[in-house]
Structure 1
Amino acid sequence: MLELGEKFEELMKVMKRLRGPKGCDWDKVQTHESLKPYIIEEAYELVDSIDEKDIKKIKEELGDILLQVVFHSTIAEENNEFFTIEVIDELINKLVRRHPHVFGDEKGYSYARWEEIKAKENGEKNFSRIGRLNKALPALSLARRIQENAAAVGFDWVEVKDVLDKVKEEVDELNEAKTQPEVEEEFGDLLFALVNLARFLKIDPEVSLRKANEKFIERFNQMEKAIEKDGKEFEALNLEELDKYWELVKKEEKR
């Protein structure tokens, strides 16, 4: 069996052949820009496999993410931007540098210290304890990260009851909003509070919402089938009639 290093070299050779003159027509024309959607897609597929606790699928999806790393690194080498070994070196150095309590003489982990080190790496004299946030994240994931970072330095609710009270407060403020800008602002505050609640309940709001989306689609499809089975036209039914079918589908799920 090949060692890890040899296996990685084999993977790089496969990628370079795919990009070579006699390689794959699709692989040869890809760029950093064209591959952006795929790395996002692969990340979500890995999250799904983790949620499903499917070890075989987790292994496969990790491979797909590694493919993206190798793909981008190969493109960079072709463009004389950087070499793959530089990616690995930078990661190793970063891990050692950001863990002085493991690789140095400092005692204990501190999130604030982590952010201080990151700020110094980027030549910043000042740093925020809430961290340098990736604003390209989906809004729900970004809200969760903001709250986690604030909690890491002690700015957090104490009990889940406090968060529930905050959710109720935001619902009341949304009801009291008069103008469209006020409605938008209060709705955002409500969503932010719900993300906080999800965090206290140990739920990933992004994953939870995606599951709710999937459940709605499945129920809607079942409702359509039930209507068709009864020989009726969906468009001919009013909202009250449609709601009865919706409730029927929900009851069938519990059986």
Structure 2
Amino acid sequence: MSTSYLQRLVEVMDQLRSPGGCPWDAEQTHESLIKYLLEESYEFIDTVAESDRSGMREELGDVLLQVYFHSRIAQDHPTDPFSIEDVAKVITEKLISRHPHVFGDTKVSGSDEVVANWEEIKAAEKGRTSALDGVAISQPALSLINKLLYRAEKYGVEIDMPTYPESLPATSESVGSALLAVISWAHKNGIDPEDALRMQSKQIMREIAQQEAR
């Protein structure tokens, strides 16, 4: 019986990380591989934008490698090891539990209700009560701000935000132009826009925490 390539990848990673395998692979840690996970994810995004089917196939393989690599590293943990099978088990159970309209008796009217149910189930599973719970702080500042605004709105948290002239129609072009102008302004004045925006994200998080504490 032939072995699937998914199982073969498990075997290859095990050989690379085991004695007599590759010295570089054996030295890697979760921390040392983070940059590669980010790079491979961005490279896959580029192939999607270019509708490059061959590139998508290759870059998805690189992303999959990172999942298998981290899982193989996790097997060596002295007190809390886990394998790629454990990872697959967790995501499989999560997909089933968060799709009760497919695997249960829940009825939905459309994708908006699916998303709402997903968020409610997720919050209940993780015991989340704050708009800040589960927000990935390490993500780029722009996406972090967007996530914080989404969470604040969802949890009904009122926060003070700077406003833009309402007379200007909000389109992808006008918003992009405004963002470009701000980034250019920051660049000309020697200010890192990522750092500046991250400072603002911290202020938003403080404000959300203060509002929730009342």
Question: What range is the shorter-chain TM-score in?
Answer: 0.5 to 0.7
- Which of the numbers 201, 213, 225 marks the counterpart of 2:172? 201
Report what 2:206 is aligned to: none
Return the alpha-carbon distance in structure 1 between the equivalents of residues 53 and 148 of structure 2.
30
Structure 2 letter corresponding to 1:201: S
Matched residues in 2 for 1:12 and 1:25: separation?
18
1:219 corresponds in structure 2 to none
Compute the TM-score of the two structures, normalised by the length of structure 1: 0.55
Matches within 5 A, 1:158-237: 167-168=164-165, 197=170, 201=172
Deviations 1:106-165 (A, max 9, x none): 1113433222211221133x365x984322211122234456667889xxxxxxxxxxxx
Partner of 2:142: 140
1:1-255 → structure 2 map (5 Å cutoff): 2=2, 6-79=4-77, 81-108=81-108, 109-124=113-128, 126=129, 128=131, 132-146=134-148, 167-168=164-165, 197=170, 201=172
Shift of 1:101: 1.4
Give the counterpart letter for 1:102 in structure 2: V
Given that residues 16 and 74 in structure 1 are in contact (C-alpha distance below 8 angstroms), is that contact kept between their aligned partners in structure 2?
yes
The answer to whether the 8 A contact 1:111-1:152 is kept is: no
User: Hey, what's the Cα distance between the residues in 2 that align with 1:132 and 1:25?
Assistant: 36
1:41 Cα deviation from its structure 2 partner: 1.1
* Identity over aligned pairs, percent: 42
Structure 1, unaligned runs of 5 or more: 154-165, 172-196, 214-255
Mapped to 2, the partners of 1:20 and 1:132 lie a distance apart of 35
Contact persistence 1:115–1:131 (CA under 8 A): no
Greater relative CO (CA pairs within 8 A, separation 6+): 2
Length, aligned pairs only: 167
What whole-Å deviation, never above 9, does each CA across 1:80-123 have from its counterpart, x for those lacking one? 51122110000000001111111111111343322221122113
Structure 1 residues 53 and 41: alpha-carbon distance in aligned structure 2, compared to 1, 3 A threshold: same
Root-mean-square deviation (CA, aligned residues, Å) is 3.6
Taking structure 2 as the reference length, the TM-score comes to 0.65
| Distance 1:98-1:141 versus aligned 2 partners, 3 A rule | same
Structure 2 unmatched runs, 5+: 156-162, 185-214
- Matched position secondary structure for 2:75: helix
Q: Secondary structure at the match of 1:107?
A: coil
